[in-house]
Amino acid sequence: MATRGRPGSGARTARPGSSRPLRSSRTTGRTKPESKATPRMPSAPSQPALTSVAGWRSRLDRARSDRRTSRVFALVLVGIALMVLVGPTLKAYVNQRSDIAALRDAVAEQTKAVEELQAEQARWEDPAYIEQQARQRLKFVKPGEKSYTVLDPQTGGVEVPGMAKGAASADTSWYATVWSSVKAADAPAAAAP
């Protein structure tokens, strides 16, 4: 018998371990003890080269599909990790952007209010405007002027809802108005037109 791995003696050189096919008990010459529960079936005559090639191909296909599965699983894990890490940050960013927009609107409104107040302050620095406001709001007059206040600019009889007809006549003292209101309250059907 020729020794393995010795060059020059006519023997074949050994292949690296990763390229060696797996050996079964039939190819090594060793026999495994058979169990009594499962009888050994005689194998059908087949082409050993085709069977080993098909076996290798199926193993390679399984290894490739396992790699693809592990890659897909790794990508899914990376995606979930990104969602967990980036999700709250993105939510905070969107909330901050909406807060910034709301604050900008508030600043614009306050700027407009400040401009209006500054314009009003400039008007109050004008003596003619101050005099006009004193005449309108406080009914002030200069010495020697007379002020007239018109209480009822409409002429003629006025109908007030809820009062009896003719109650607002020439006699418009306060007690006459109260008395007409009491009469209208006692007889609401008569007061309605």
Read off the pLDDT of residues 110-132 as tens digits, 9 standing for 90 and up: 999 999 999 999 999 999 999 99
- For the chain, the distance separating the N- and C-terminal CA atoms, rounded to the nearest angstrom, is 137
- pLDDT value for 75: 92
- With vertex at residue 71, the alpha carbon angle to CA 68 and CA 75, rounded to the nearest 5 degrees, is 140
Report the distance separating Cα 139 and Cα 133, nearest Å: 9
Please state the pTM of the whole predicted model. 0.36
Report the distance separating Cα 14 and Cα 10, nearest Å: 12
